[in-house]
Structure formats: C-alpha cells, structure tokens
Structure 1
C-alpha cells in the first residue's frame, strides 16, 4: 500500500484565496447595487471555533488511546477523524478567506465602517484560522507512533505511517 502524507498546506491556502475572492465579489456586488455590506452572523465564528475544539478533543483522545493502549482503537474511527481533519482544513481556509475578503472590501472605503459591521467579519476570519490550525494538529495526532509496528520499520524520511494506512495493528 502507498503511504499517504499530510495534506499539502497549499490546499488550505488555495481554499482561503477562493474564499477571499468570493467575499470580495459578494461585497462588490452588494455595494454596486446600493445595498449594505454583508455582515455574517456571530454564530458562524462561534460554530467554527466549536468545531475546531471538538476536532482537537477527538484527536487528543485518539492519541492518548494509541500511546497508552488504554482501550482498543477502532481503525475506522481513526480514518474518519483523519478525513474530518483534512476537510476541516479546507472548510476553515474557505470560510476564513471569506471573512478576510469581507474585511478587505471595507478597507478601500473613504468612510470607515462601524465596528458592528467589520467585527463579525474579522471574527469569521479568526474562526476559520482557528479551524485550520486545530485541524492540522488533529491530522498530526492521527499518525501512529514509530514504535507501534511490531517488527516493521518506518521510513526515516517520511516518519510514522498515517492512521489511514496503519489501521492500528493489533499486538
């Protein structure tokens, strides 16, 4: 089987660039029509941070169970957590970039926007960034430690194999 490495950080950066472009286009469309700028609800950044915390909590619990061998680890749960962490990186980049694009569109105005307009946009940017960082940490926590292979050697260049390839071999 082929080893899978960590997700390329350029994927998150590309998602953030696309989100920023979408945020700018939304604001330019609304200002061209004479409407007020789009202000995201405060529940969006709260939800992003909540998802990041839950994802990180599951990653820490998985790492604890693997390293301490307290309980048997279901390999399918580990693979699902890895897939969720990778999806979190993309979604966090996209929504964080969207919030950044919304804020960026307000910077070019001659009259500064009120705090009630730009603060939720800035919070969405921060929530997306938090989700990306927590998802990257969780993806790192889903890797099997080097000593768990029982006779098989790990490649020194790539490090321990990812959870989706190791399937947490039984002792």
Structure 2
C-alpha cells in the first residue's frame, strides 16, 4: 500500500498568493476606472466557515468509526473526505487570499475606507484561514493510525511501522 502524503504547503501558499494577486488586480482595475471597490458579500465568509464545520464533522465521524470498528470503514468515504479536505485547503487559501488582496489595496489610500467596506474583506480573509485550518485537520483525521495498515505504511516521520520492524528483526 502506498503512503498518502499531506498536501504540499507550498501549493496552499501558491493558491493564497494567486488569490492576493487577483484581489489586487481587481481592485486596481476598478479604481482606475473610477468605480467603488469590490466588497465581497457577508455570505462568503459565512459559507467558508460552514464548509469548515462540515469538513470537521465528517472528519470526526470518520475517525470515530475507525476507532469503533477497528478499521472497518468504507475506504471510498475516506478518499472522498480526503479529496474534499485537500480542495478545501486550496479554495480556502485562494478565497482568503482574494479577500486579503482586496483589503490590501485599501491600505495605500489617502482617505481611509469606511468599516462597511473593509470589514467584509477582512472577514473573507479570516473565513479562508478557518477553512484552510479545518481542512488540514480533516486531512489529518483521514490518516490511518499506526498499526492498522497491515504494516505496509511507514510510522510517524517516515520511521518504519511495527510490522516493518518485526520483519527486519527476523532477517
């Protein structure tokens, strides 16, 4: 069995950087035309937090089923949750970065923006951070605990698992 690696943190940072860049470009394009800044709806951070709660709920449910049934869990459910957790990390980073880019463009103005303008941007950034954190936790909950994988996976930090150590001692 192949060991499943965590999502590369550089991919999450790249998604956040792309989100920031898009947010900045959108705001600069709007301001160059004399339009008001784009203010994301308050439903965006609320939706990001709701998705975070759903991911955590499914992750905790999966972990409890693994502990209760000693590993007898539908692997397709675990893989789907893993895919959703990885997608949540990327989407949370991109949308949080977008909100951060929108807010970042307001810092260079000579007249400060009203709270009704910058607060939804900061909330979108915070919602993205919450989604990334929840998705990382859900991804961690999808991992097979040591000793339940049949000895084919490595232990923590790439160390050999118990079955691998026993096979080494027999040589």
Same fold by TM-score greater than 0.5: yes
Pairing 1:114–2:114 present = yes
Q: Distance in 1 between matches of 2:123 and 2:84?
A: 22
Task: Specify the alignment match of 2:140 in structure 1.
Answer: 140
Contact map agreement 2:3 2:154 (CA 8 A) in 1: no
Q: Which runs of no fewer than 5 residues in structure 2 stay unpaired?
A: 162-171
Q: Partner residue of 2:3? A: 3
- Greater CA drift, 68-77 or 44-53: 68-77
Instruction: Provide the C-alpha distance between the structure 1 equivalents of 2:138 and 2:159, rounded to a whole number of angstroms.
Output: 16
Measured against aligned partners, the alpha-carbon deviations of 1:23-73 in whole angstroms (never above 9, x if no partner) come to 000000000000000000000000000000100110010001101218942
* Residue aligned with 2:158, SS: coil
Cα separation, partners in 2 of 1:153 and 1:9, compared to 1, 3 Å = same
Quote how far apart the aligned CAs of 1:147 are: 2.1
Mapped to 2, the partners of 1:76 and 1:7 lie a distance apart of 19
Distance 1:94 1:87 in 2: 11
Moved over 3 A (4+): none
Count the aligned residue pairs.
160
C-alpha distance in 2 between matches for 1:127 and 1:41: 12
Deviates more, 1:70-79 or 1:119-128: 70-79
Residues 70/153 of structure 1: CA separation in 2 closer, same or farther (3 Å cut): closer
Shift of the 130–36 alpha-carbon distance from structure 1 to 2, 3 Å rule, reads: same
